[in-house]
A and B are shown apart, each in its own frame.
Chain A
């Protein structure tokens, strides 16, 4: 029975069967729904309320109106954190996607042992935001780390890359670019969807590989690129673990790895200012929403749907 037949039967099949099925489904969904309600929706709504209070975790919250939101505009360290986060997002996401697309194009040429390479390149994505990798990073970019040993080989004197405010953020950007595996897998799937006849026709007409890429691959892949872009931007804005572990929770040196989320966390849990932290969380939501909206608006001009 084909999928279409199945669908038809579902549509026209006995109402009795459907009702019973639904009931069972609700029961199976119940644990998830309870989780959503109590663990996600509840706290999200509570944090919205807390954003209008002064709350130090121990004493009951005090209503203070829009003070927390007003503070967002005068908090210089927050503005620095915004600068750090924007730099991180705007530099690392394009680089990461370029890497992902590049490797996907290489792997798409029907290499032998493709499955192995695909897994190997995907591995960092699984590990990338883990504590273990962040610890490894301090070993690679530390004063006596791997990078400096390699540089020393060529007679170049290194430094503590992570503990120098001029280079600390770059090491985190490299870390994010390195985890290009998940967009790569999506690109690979997208490349498989492009019919080979387009390339054959182009080749017969004498189009170079380069112009095939620009005129066939990229336009047909643009919905996938758009999807990856939106997802990775959101993901990058929410980065926390890397900066937390690499800087020992401080966002240092000199606040140079102070991601927005890390600053938010410090406000709540080190400064006991949960009201401000809640306001910051909602402000981040606005920023991400704005970026996503801009993305969708711009998509009209460059994303091509082949329907």
Chain B
């Protein structure tokens, strides 16, 4: 009897082993194998604007010339539509082979088993010239789910034309505080006479501002395990600050603030020259300068020298990821390697996806950059930073929208900063728990 059971178990194990081996063979080439010489087609998807589509298409054509048997089919969308469609194609087992991935979503997809560990495709993917800290931002538990494309840093963008118009000197950003920002913003608002305001309120489009506040006090939004460890008093301070900006007229009235911030970059207060200071990613300098037509300058974050730590960090603007279900992972990795390492490709892509995380490429394109791109690169090269925060954990990809809702509740007096802090922390934690 005992032997019977054992034999059956052994048979089952043997059978399932064979089955899994067969399955592995059946799913096209594997990530570590040689590149195929047969004709293959890979799908590649990204979000972005027109300029990005043109540049990316050019680079795709360069790759196809080098690998005539590989066809790359580009698919592009704008940000919101991109994530909706990625979720549905994933569910339909029809995900693109190569995708542009964001820090907010990478853990949510990786920990559900949707992304390939790029280490498996090491043979085809060269990461030697990447900054190790930057590379680590795309890794979870030692598995490389994304290759960082570009880096960005949170910054204050100041409209120096507006300051000159009102005779207000540009502040010294090496040791200014959040209170200094409020004070100088108040001067601008008073001079602006209801048309121009001092500060474009943060807390609407992303959670980075809150995370930076926490980091400056030696705290963080999440711990290594993905638990929310944000102290409620820091969140309270954050919303109190935003509420003060609104109440004292340093920022525009709430409905105007929300509308401008939600309408996209080109309608923002910075782009329409209706606020002198705004929190932005340094890489957005070129786009905002073009939109506003004014002279914009990158300033360091306030509060970097008053607290116990620096809040600034290198944020990967996006990643290249390969689908775990791709039938041609080796070829997909080779294409990612081309995007990340080819100098000719880099000269077309430039800093459109952020200042390149590949250090060799960053130097190779330095001579070709526009003035605003150069300023963004210089900001990244010179401003002191500390280690990046843990990537947004699985389940918390709705972090930004949760933050926005709480900011709206605070601005319209539907809740207090205190209550908002408690509710925010509770909700984010429950999202993380629900994904487990």
Taking the closest CB of chain A, its distance from the CB of B421, in whole angstroms, is 16
Among B21-75, those with CB < 8 Å from A are none
* B-side contacts of A159, CB under 8 Å: 253, 255-256
B109 at interface by CB-CB < 8 Å? yes
Taking the closest CB of chain B, its distance from the CB of A93, in whole angstroms, is 27
**Cβ 8 A contact of A269, one of B87, B401, B435:** B87
| Stretch of B225-233, B299-307, B408-416 lying at the A interface | B408-416
* B-side contacts of A249, CB under 8 Å: 80
Give the number of chain A interface residues (Cβ < 8 Å).
27
A108 at interface by CB-CB < 8 Å? no
Q: In the complex the two chains form, is A254's CB within 8 Å of B113's CB? A: no
Q: How far is the CA of A164 from the CA of B253 in the complex (A)?
A: 10
Q: In the complex the two chains form, is A165's CB within 8 Å of B84's CB? A: no
**Cβ 8 A contact of B412, one of A250, A253, A272:** A253
**Cβ 8 A contact of A253, one of B83, B112, B258:** B258
B90 at interface by CB-CB < 8 Å? yes
Q: In the complex the two chains form, is A58's CB within 8 Å of B113's CB? A: yes
B12 at interface by CB-CB < 8 Å? no
Taking the closest CB of chain B, its distance from the CB of A291, in whole angstroms, is 29
A83 at interface by CB-CB < 8 Å? no
* A-side contacts of B412, CB under 8 Å: 164-166, 253-254
Q: In the complex the two chains form, is B112's CB within 8 Å of A58's CB? A: yes
Q: How far is the CA of A59 from the CA of B91 in the complex (A)?
A: 8
Q: In the complex the two chains form, is B91's CB within 8 Å of A57's CB? A: yes
Question: 0/1 per residue, A231-251, Cβ < 8 Å to B?
Answer: 000000000000000001110
Give the number of chain B interface residues (Cβ < 8 Å).
33
Among A254-287, those with CB < 8 Å from B are 254-255, 269-274
* B-side contacts of A218, CB under 8 Å: none
* B-side contacts of A190, CB under 8 Å: none
**Cβ 8 A contact of A56, one of B80, B88, B112, B255:** B112
* A-side contacts of B90, CB under 8 Å: 57-58
Taking the closest CB of chain A, its distance from the CB of B403, in whole angstroms, is 11
Q: In the complex the two chains form, is A274's CB within 8 Å of B91's CB? A: yes
Q: How far is the CA of A248 from the CA of B408 in the complex (A)?
A: 15
* A-side contacts of B258, CB under 8 Å: 160, 163-164, 252-253
Q: In the complex the two chains form, is B88's CB within 8 Å of A269's CB? A: yes
Main SS at interface, chain B? helix
A162 at interface by CB-CB < 8 Å? yes
**Cβ 8 A contact of A254, one of B260, B414, B435:** B414
Q: How far is the CA of A252 from the CA of B403 in the complex (A)?
A: 12
With A59-B113, A254-B412 as known contacts, state yes or no: A164 contacts B87, CB within 8 Å: no
* A-side contacts of B112, CB under 8 Å: 56, 58-59, 272
A142 at interface by CB-CB < 8 Å? yes
Question: 0/1 per residue, B247-270, Cβ < 8 Å to A?
Answer: 000000111101110110000000
A143 at interface by CB-CB < 8 Å? yes
**Cβ 8 A contact of A164, one of B91, B113, B255:** B255
Q: In the complex the two chains form, is A272's CB within 8 Å of B87's CB? A: yes
Q: In the complex the two chains form, is B262's CB within 8 Å of A248's CB? A: yes
Main SS at interface, chain A? loop
With A163-B259, A254-B408 as known contacts, state yes or no: A56 contacts B84, CB within 8 Å: no
Q: How far is the CA of A272 from the CA of B431 in the complex (A)?
A: 11
Q: How far is the CA of A162 from the CA of B262 in the complex (A)?
A: 11
**Cβ 8 A contact of B255, one of A58, A160, A270, A271:** A160
Q: In the complex the two chains form, is B80's CB within 8 Å of A248's CB? A: yes
B390 at interface by CB-CB < 8 Å? no
Q: How far is the CA of A270 from the CA of B404 in the complex (A)?
A: 15
Q: In the complex the two chains form, is B255's CB within 8 Å of A254's CB? A: no
Q: In the complex the two chains form, is B434's CB within 8 Å of A143's CB? A: no
Among A45-72, those with CB < 8 Å from B are 56-59
Taking the closest CB of chain B, its distance from the CB of A245, in whole angstroms, is 11
* B-side contacts of A166, CB under 8 Å: 412
B114 at interface by CB-CB < 8 Å? yes
Nearest to A265 among chain B residues (CB) is B84
Q: In the complex the two chains form, is A163's CB within 8 Å of B91's CB? A: no
* A-side contacts of B435, CB under 8 Å: 56, 272
B108 at interface by CB-CB < 8 Å? yes
Q: In the complex the two chains form, is B84's CB within 8 Å of A253's CB? A: no
Taking the closest CB of chain B, its distance from the CB of A147, in whole angstroms, is 13
Q: How far is the CA of A248 from the CA of B405 in the complex (A)?
A: 13
Q: In the complex the two chains form, is A255's CB within 8 Å of B113's CB? A: no
B246 at interface by CB-CB < 8 Å? no
Q: How far is the CA of A48 from the CA of B135 in the complex (A)?
A: 43
Among B114-131, those with CB < 8 Å from A are 114
Q: In the complex the two chains form, is B254's CB within 8 Å of A271's CB? A: no
Chain B positions within 8 Å of A, measured between CB atoms, are 80, 83-84, 87-88, 90-91, 108-109, 112-114, 253-256, 258-260, 262-263, 397-398, 401, 404-405, 408-409, 412, 414, 431, 434-435
Lowest 10 A-B CB distances belong to which pairs? A160-B255, A57-B91, A163-B259, A160-B259, A163-B258, A164-B255, A58-B112, A253-B408, A254-B408, A159-B255
24 A–B contacts, CB within 8 A, in A order: A56-B112, A57-B87, A58-B91, A58-B112, A159-B253, A159-B256, A160-B259, A161-B255, A163-B259, A164-B258, A248-B80, A249-B80, A250-B401, A250-B405, A252-B258, A253-B412, A254-B405, A254-B409, A255-B405, A269-B84, A269-B87, A271-B434, A272-B435, A274-B91
Chain A positions within 8 Å of B, measured between CB atoms, are 56-59, 142-143, 159-166, 248-250, 252-255, 269-274
